[in-house]
Structure 1
Amino acid sequence: MNTRIDFRYLSEDDTIAAGVMDMAACVDAMEETFALYAAGDYRMAGPNNDSHGARMIFPDDPPFENMPANSDDRRFTAMPAYLGGSFGTTGMKWYGSNLANRDKGLPRSILMFMLNDTDTAAPLALMSANLLSAMRTGAVSGVAARHFARSDSRVAGVIGPGVMGRTTLAALAVACPMLDTVKVRGRSQQGIDDFRAWVAEFVPQITTIEQVERDEDAVRGCDVVAVCTTAKAGDIDAYPMIRREWLESGAFVTMPAAANIDEGLEAQEVRKVVDSYGLYEAWGMEFPTPTHHHVGIIGNKFLDLVSENKLRHWDIEELGPVVERRTEGRRTPEEVVLVSVGGLPIEDVAWGTVLYRNAIERGIGTSLPLWQTPALV
């Protein structure tokens, strides 16, 4: 019996060579992922199997000299999941975050992803996951736009030109091939300049980029809008506020980051779509109501409105059944659609599996030994 186990290590450069930046392929992978989610062919953590993951934070006043103190975005999170279908793999994203990293020239978050054989639990791959995570997050908005954005959409608005804003725009361009103009609102000129350079390289169908000074200006006149600004968790006054009067008839709004909406957008006739209803229920088990005050993703606001009897739970739709064609996507040219993207660990498993298989096929990465034979059996 052969008990040798080797696994593939993929650096960030290796993941690029394996196709991590292929947004069209990533959107397709996420489309399949949401069909499997709707069919129930998946598992995630938590008592309802829909948890974002297990989060560890530090105390505000640590009792030990070497223990870090809690601060903005300082946490570690383990995000495990199994995904069936053509994937059939299990994996976990290990997510460390510290806002002070930026002072050291590092990303706020540093992520790794481990992919495992579902049967034996043997490791298949360990890979850099910053790009993996950014692409899969953006791609979910692309899946939603395929089904809910108007097919003639040409103008996008982006609030927050950082990594999330860039990958979300790339996915919207995949879903909306007529998209050619973007209005962008950022906090710094450097951020806007970096956004322009990235779009020129990776989203060449965008021919016009207009810099605006207010969130309202980034929303008015747009067919599709992406709200991607980072905000301090729990500081609800810092969440970008989107108002009904700003939106064009038929607008599609995706929110993969903290955001808020006015009373006009709370109305039942404004369609509200989430990636996973259970994801926000899981957050509701972890944090007290109103959960949106603790986790700024707009899906938590939707569920808070249900608890306040301002919405019925069936007013909140899931993306998966729409992908499966069991329920309708866009119904009329005039309807306004809001989409919440909270981030599911199965998305990491899907894209990580694609990258691993590409790496094996193309001979990318480094094969590392786990053992020839296990020392303890």
Structure 2
Amino acid sequence: MIIVPEAAIADLVDRAAAFDAVEATFAAMASGDARNFPVVREALPGPEEALYGFKGGVDASAEALGLKAGGYWPHNLERRGLINHQSTVFLFDPETGRPTAMVGGNLLTALRTAAASSVSIRHLAREDARVIGMVGAGHQAGFQLRAALEQRPFEKVIGWNLHPEMLPNLEKVAAEAGLPFEAVELEGLRAADVIVTITSSFAPTLMAGHVGPGAHVACMGTDTVGKQEVDPELLKLATVFADEVAQSVTLGEAQHAVGAGTIAEGDLTPIGDVIRGVHPGRTSQEEITLFDGTGVGLQDLAVAAAAVRLAQEKGVAVEVEI
């Protein structure tokens, strides 16, 4: 079995590799070549208030089988200096079931989540998008913004966060790209052509009135039953795409809109259909598009497999017998 430790990931998998892996995964899912398994997600007992679970799947086109184990420990950063998201990816031989790799999943999770929203921006945002808005300024927000900025010639970054003292995290990334940054109230996000939400909220923050005509919204924080970042009315106004429809209506933003009868499950389209050319994606400059990115297990397997391949090519893979 090959082990790729967390410390090695940054030198192996870049944004381009993550983008290619996630885009191919979405296409394989839409064509029926890949299938996600039901998510297991449970609250752990005790004062940590942690969520722990498993995401897995199988991709026949990539000969990938495996799972990601991990979750969210909300007090890690303040108490231990560790990031709140902790995970490890395990890969298996689909023909024999033998374990083939164990890969550190923390950075990979951030990279694949950013890649997913980035894929949605490439395929759904207006070509003339110039202003990007961010809702959230935590650990993953920087990854999201860096990946998003590669998809359009953005000229300005605007942002809002519940705790405004964290907004310099976004300003730093904007400065790296040579772009101005402006902190705004939520109403100010109407000026954004693309909006990325990346929070751990359990109540809607981005309302329908905060989004202007023609915007593309990538909702990336809701991945658990009860979580919610946006107003269900926004999904009613938008053309809604999902990484996986079944997961979106179960634990994504669509869980609330479908539950309230605002939209139906049949109103959602897999983004893989756009990638494959089966669905046209955006059809007008005024159309609001929304991507419900719940984070599917196959994304983790794809980027982990890329990490293993690159580790082998660079001679840094650690092999052990188990």
Q: Is the contact between residue 135 and residue 160 of structure 2 (CA under 8 Å) also seen in structure 1?
A: yes
1:29 aligns with 2:21: yes
State the one-letter code of the partner of 2:187: E
User: Contact 1:241–1:262 (CA<8 Å) still a contact in 2?
Assistant: no
Using the TM superposition, give the Cα deviation of residue 344 of structure 1 relative to its aligned residue in structure 2, in angstroms. 0.4
Q: Which residue of 2 aligns with 1:197?
A: 172
How many pairs does the alignment contain?
A: 315
**Residue 318, structure 1, aligned to residue 270, structure 2:** yes
- How far the C-alpha of 1:266 sits from its partner, in A, is 4.6
> Aligned residue for 2:213?
249
1:182-237: CA deviation from partner (whole Å, max 9, x where unpaired): 11112445522233334545xx2x5112123x2222x1211100111222x4xx3x
Query: What's the offset of the Cα at 1:347?
Result: 0.4
The one of 38, 42, 57 aligned to 1:56: 42
209 and 58 in structure 1: CA distance in 2 versus 1, 3 angstrom threshold: same
Structure 2 residue 287 is the aligned partner of structure 1 residue 335: yes
Go from structure 1 to structure 2 and tell me whether the alpha carbon gap of 1:280 and 1:189 turns closer, same or farther (over 3 Å shift). Answer: closer
Query: 1:90-129 residue pairs with structure 2 within 5 A?
Result: 90-102=65-77, 103-129=79-105
* Contact 1:17/1:364 (8 A) holds in 2: no
Scaled by the length of structure 1, the TM-score of the pair is 0.78
Equivalent position to 1:301, from 235, 256, 272: 256
CA-to-aligned-CA distance 1:73-121 (integer Å, 9 cap, x gap): x122011211222x21112111132212122211112111112221122
1:286-344 CA-partner distances (Å, limit 9, x unpaired)? xxxxxxxxx5x312123224xx3x43443222211111101111101111112111110
Structure 1 alignment gaps of length 5 or more: 1-6, 46-50, 60-67, 284-294, 371-377
Structure 2 residues not aligned, in runs of 5+: 222-227
- The yes-or-no answer on 1:226 pairing with 2:196 is yes
Secondary structure of residue in 1 paired with 2:192: coil
Q: Note if contact 1:302-1:316 (Cα within 8 Å) is conserved in structure 2.
A: no
For 1:39, give the aligned amino acid: S
The question of 1:44 aligning with 2:44 is answered: no
Aligned-pair identity in percent equals 25
Aligned residue for 1:286? none
> Which residue is 1:3 aligned to?
none
Distance 2:20 2:36 in 1: 21
Question: Of the candidates 6, 9, 28, which is equivalent to residue 3 of structure 2?
Answer: 9
- Is 1:352 aligned to residue 304 of structure 2? yes
Within the candidate set 182, 205, 215, 2:186 is matched to 215
8 Å CA contact retained: 1:148, 1:330: yes
The equivalent position to 1:79 in structure 2, one of 36, 39, 55, is: 55
CA drift of 1:262 comes to: 5.8
Q: Distance in 2 between matches of 1:13 and 1:108?
A: 17
Answer yes or no: is 1:278 the counterpart of 2:246: yes
Larger Rg, first or second structure (1 or 2): 1
Task: State the 1:280 CA deviation.
Answer: 3.3
Partners of 1:155 and 1:189 in 2: CA distance: 20
Preserved CA contact (<8 Å) 1:81 1:345: yes
One-letter code aligned to 2:215: A
